[in-house]
């Protein structure tokens, strides 16, 4: 084994993992050290992920054997095109939210700054670990690292947060337990935990009852974890009451990584032939997802709280991704994977802006946003871009993922889903334009004028730079993802879709 570029695969996990402990140790003496340490660790991870992406595009799948033990026995880290783009996305958004978090954490939970940063870093580590590992049980361990830290990050939020976190603990544990019960059943049948090894062993056992049960448990467990409708009950409260930096990192990343795990299990661990033909799981999932898209959008319209509205819109967007997985053809899955990336960027931007509004104004009711465009023009512009992307207006990224999803539905001859996709875009337009209208068009009310301005003149009062810059970069990312979508598909996602499609 050569000691070169491949070491990035290990560094991308170990650097933030070790730094998360250093943050506690050093933060004990010097509180200001936490923030630069977190940035440095995530920066190194981001650079590593770029290196890995470069290497994967050049050479194909990379394997790394932990401690030199060969795959069926030892734990293996595998990175192919699918993980590589997930890694870049995870580390980049993690870094952006970390930059953003400084002021908002100091405002919201000043006394818990040191543990917060440590746990934040540990959560990103867990998510990276799930993505990078090629071993089922190892993925479970990283999943629990990410979940436990997510519970803690949510619990430190505002008034309703502990209760939301407790419900999330219960639901999340059910999901994770089903997942590792599934591992048990697959292990009974095969005696292996390595994903690549299992995909060789399993085809002979596709009619084995234990394997079928294992597959069902995987599906349910991951569906709970990713908040797929109707298993989403933990999600809205958790996103609403969490500190703004927490919702900005959990909402774009956590459910997306679970969607990634679902793709892995459906199309890598089990061959597509099994998930599509032998048991019609993908067909069932498309209908569940379609229900989720419509229900999530309608529930989002009913909300007046911005963060809660975004949370329900997340449920709808999980529906898009699962619909892409469930259509199980080239176009559909391309759309689903592209939507993982796009949704991470646009929902990240939206939650960052929601946190920014709360930081500056301490309010989150949509009807109070009147005239905000004069006060925070750049932030509101970023919000508008991300909202347009959610609706699906070109040239933003959201348009293209929906476009591919529609193409996938046409390929699958599933006309109902085209109606669902278009209808949900209209519903998205309803609730996002209601916010945009409040921001830009409605005249400001007197209650708002207490904040330094009168009816007519509102002073410009932007967010501090450390919060504004990540928001603008993410918003620019939403547009860039749209403009360069063809390149992303041609160089990365095309290889991530199973060859048999």
Partner 1 sequence: MLEYIISKYNYWVYIFLMMLGLYGMIGKRNLVKKLIGMNIFQVAIILFYISIGSKVGGDIPILTAEDLHGMADPGKYLNPIPHVLMLTAIVVGIATTGVALAIIIMIYNRYKTLAEDEILEIRKKTGA
- Give the nearer residue to partner 1 in terms of CB position, either 159 or 486: 159
Q: Tell whether residue 362 is a contact of partner 1 (CB under 8 A).
A: no
| Least distance from partner 1 to the Cβ atom of residue 174, Å | 7
Closer to partner 1 by Cβ: residue 143 or 315: 143
Selection from 344, 372, 108, 139 nearest residue 245 by Cα: 108
Q: How far apart are CA 369 and CA 494, in angstroms?
A: 42
CB of 9 to partner 1, least distance (A): 21
Q: Which is nearer to partner 1, 160 or 377 (CB)?
A: 160
As measured in angstroms, the least distance from the Cβ of 72 to partner 1 is 11
Name the token pair of 110.
């000043």
Peptide bond preceding 395: is omega within 30 degrees of 0, i.e. cis?
yes
Give Cα 29 distance to the centre of its chain.
Answer: 34
Q: Where are the alpha helices (DSSP H) in 156-243?
A: 161-190, 195-201, 209-225, 235-241
**Tokens standing for 36?**
């630069």
Report the residue number, 181 or 393, with the smaller CB distance to partner 1: 181
**Tokens matching residue 265:** 């299990």
CA dist., res. 320 & res. 335, Å (int): 9
Q: Could you tell me the smallest distance in angstroms from the CB atom of residue 479 to partner 1?
A: 37
3-state secondary structure (DSSP) of residue 30: coil
Residue from the set 9, 96, 123, 148 that interacts with partner 1 by CB under 8 A: 148
Cβ-based nearer residue to partner 1, 187 or 287: 187
CA distances from 58 to 5, 61, 74, 501 (A): 12, 9, 26, 23
Q: Is omega for the bond preceding 230 within 30 degrees of 0, making it cis?
A: yes
Window 155-174: residues binding partner 1 (CB under 8 A) = 155, 158-160, 162-163, 165-166, 169-170, 173-174
- The residue (of 159 and 456) whose beta carbon lies closer to partner 1 is 159
Q: Determine the distance from the C-alpha atom of residue 389 to the mean position of all C-alpha atoms in its chain, rounded to a whole number.
A: 16
Q: Which stretch binds partner 1 (CB under 8 A): 45-53, 154-162, 289-297, 412-420?
A: 154-162
330, 497 contact by CB (below 8 A): yes
**Least distance between partner 1 and beta carbon 215 (Å):** 17
Output DSSP code: residue 63. Answer: E
Q: Which of residues 180-219 bind partner 1 (CB under 8 A)?
A: 180-181, 184, 187-188, 193
In the complex, minimum distance from the CB of residue 177 to partner 1, in angstroms, rounded to a whole number: 6
**Least distance between partner 1 and beta carbon 173 (Å):** 5
Q: Could you tell me which stretch among 45-53, 150-158, 425-433, 462-470 binds partner 1 (CB under 8 A)?
A: 150-158
Of 142 and 351, nearer to partner 1 (C-beta) is 142
Site residue total, partner 1 (CB under 8 A): 25
Q: Is the bond leading into 236 cis (omega within 30 degrees of zero)?
A: no
Taking the complex as a whole, the smallest distance from the CB of residue 417 to partner 1 amounts, in Å, to 33
**In the complex, minimum distance from the CB of residue 191 to partner 1, in angstroms, rounded to a whole number:** 8
- In the complex with partner 1, which residue's Cβ is closer, 165 or 405? 165
Would you say 124 and 94 are in contact if contact means Cβ atoms under 8 Å apart? Answer: yes
CB-based contact 130:268 (threshold 8 Å): no
Rounded Cα–Cα distance for residues 441 and 458 (Å): 14
Q: Which stretch binds partner 1 (CB under 8 A): 175-183, 264-272, 391-399, 444-452?
A: 175-183
CA geometry: angle at 100 spanning 97 and 105, to 5°?
A: 100
Give the residue with the Cβ less far from partner 1, 305 or 411. Answer: 305
Q: How far is the CB of 487 from partner 1 (least distance, A)?
A: 41
Q: Which is nearer to partner 1, 145 or 323 (CB)?
A: 145
Q: Which stretches within 265-327 are classed as H helix?
A: 272-273, 281-301, 306-327
Among the listed residues 5, 137, 206, 484, the single contact to partner 1 using CB under 8 A: 137
DSSP labels for 392-457? T-TTSHHHHHHHHHHHHHHHTT-HHHHHHHHHHHHHHHHHHHHHHHHHHTSPPPHHHHTTS--SS-
Query: Scanning the structure block, which residue is given the tokens 């996305």?
Result: 89
Min separation Cβ 158 and partner 1, Å: 8
Q: Which is nearer to partner 1, 168 or 267 (CB)?
A: 168
Residue 133 DSSP label: B
127 DSSP assignment: H
Give the contact letters, 92-131, x = binds to partner 1 (CB under 8 A), - = no.
Answer: ----------------------------------------
Beta strands in 31-187 (DSSP E): 62-65, 76-79
Piece of 31-39, 145-153, 383-391, 426-434 that binds partner 1 (CB under 8 A): 145-153
- Alpha-carbon gap, residue 146 to 121, rounded angstroms: 10
Residues making contact with partner 1 (CB under 8 A): 137, 141, 144, 148, 151-152, 155, 158-160, 162-163, 165-166, 169-170, 173-174, 177, 180-181, 184, 187-188, 193
């Amino acid at each position: 084994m050569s000691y070169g570029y491949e070491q990035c695969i290990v560094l991308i996990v170990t650097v933030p993992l070790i730094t998360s402990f250093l943050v506690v140790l050093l933060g004990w003496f010097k509180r200001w050290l936490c923030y630069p340490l977190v940035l440095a660790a995530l920066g190194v991870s981001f650079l590593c992920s770029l290196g890995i992406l470069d290497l994967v595009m050049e050479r194909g799948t990379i394997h790394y054997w932990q401690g030199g033990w060969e795959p069926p026995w030892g734990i293996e880290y595998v990175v192919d095109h699918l993980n590589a783009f997930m890694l870049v996305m995870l580390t980049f958004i993690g870094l952006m939210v970390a930059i953003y978090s400084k002021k908002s954490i100091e405002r919201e939970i000043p006394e818990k700054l040191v543990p917060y940063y440590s746990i934040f870093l540990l959560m990103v580590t867990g998510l990276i670990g799930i993505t990078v590992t090629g071993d089922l049980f190892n993925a479970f361990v990283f999943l629990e690292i990410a979940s436990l830290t997510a519970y803690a990050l949510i619990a430190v939020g505002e008034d309703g947060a502990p209760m939301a976190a407790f419900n999330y603990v219960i639901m999340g544990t059910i999901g994770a337990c089903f997942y590792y019960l599934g591992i048990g059943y697959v292990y009974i049948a095969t005696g292996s935990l390595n994903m690549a090894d299992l995909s060789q062993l399993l085809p002979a056992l596709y009619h084995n009852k234990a394997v079928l049960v294992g597959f069902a448990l995987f599906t349910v467990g991951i569906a709970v974890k990713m908040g797929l409708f109707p298993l989403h009950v933990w999600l809205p409260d958790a996103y609403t009451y969490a500190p703004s930096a927490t919702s900005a990192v959990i909402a774009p990343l956590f459910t997306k990584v679970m969607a990634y795990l679902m793709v892995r299990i459906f199309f890598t661990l089990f061959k597509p032939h099994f998930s599509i033909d032998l048991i019609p799981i993908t067909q069932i999932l498309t209908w569940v997802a379609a229900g989720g898209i419509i229900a999530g959008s309608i529930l989002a319209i009913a909300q007046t709280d911005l963060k809660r509205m975004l949370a329900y819109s997340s449920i709808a967007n999980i529906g898009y991704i699962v619909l892409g997985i469930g259509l199980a053809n080239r176009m559909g899955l391309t759309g689903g994977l592209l939507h993982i990336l796009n949704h991470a960027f646009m929902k990240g931007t939206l939650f960052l802006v929601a946190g920014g509004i709360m930081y500056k104004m301490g309010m989150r009711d949509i009807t109070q946003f009147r005239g905000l465009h004069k006060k925070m023009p750049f932030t509101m512009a970023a919000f508008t871009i991300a909202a347009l992307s959610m609706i699906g207006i070109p040239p933003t990224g959201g348009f293209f993922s929906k476009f591919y999803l529609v193409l996938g539905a046409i390929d699958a001859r599933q006309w109902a889903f085209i109606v669902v996709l278009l209808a949900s875009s209209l519903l998205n337009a309803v609730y996002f334009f209601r916010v945009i209208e409040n921001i830009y068009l409605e005249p400001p009310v007197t209650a708002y004028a207490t904040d330094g301005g009168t009816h007519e003149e509102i002073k410009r009062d932007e967010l501090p730079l450390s919060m504004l810059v990540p928001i603008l970069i993410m918003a620019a990312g939403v547009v860039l993802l749209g403009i360069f979508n063809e390149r992303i598909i041609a160089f990365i996602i095309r290889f991530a879709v199973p060859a048999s499609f």
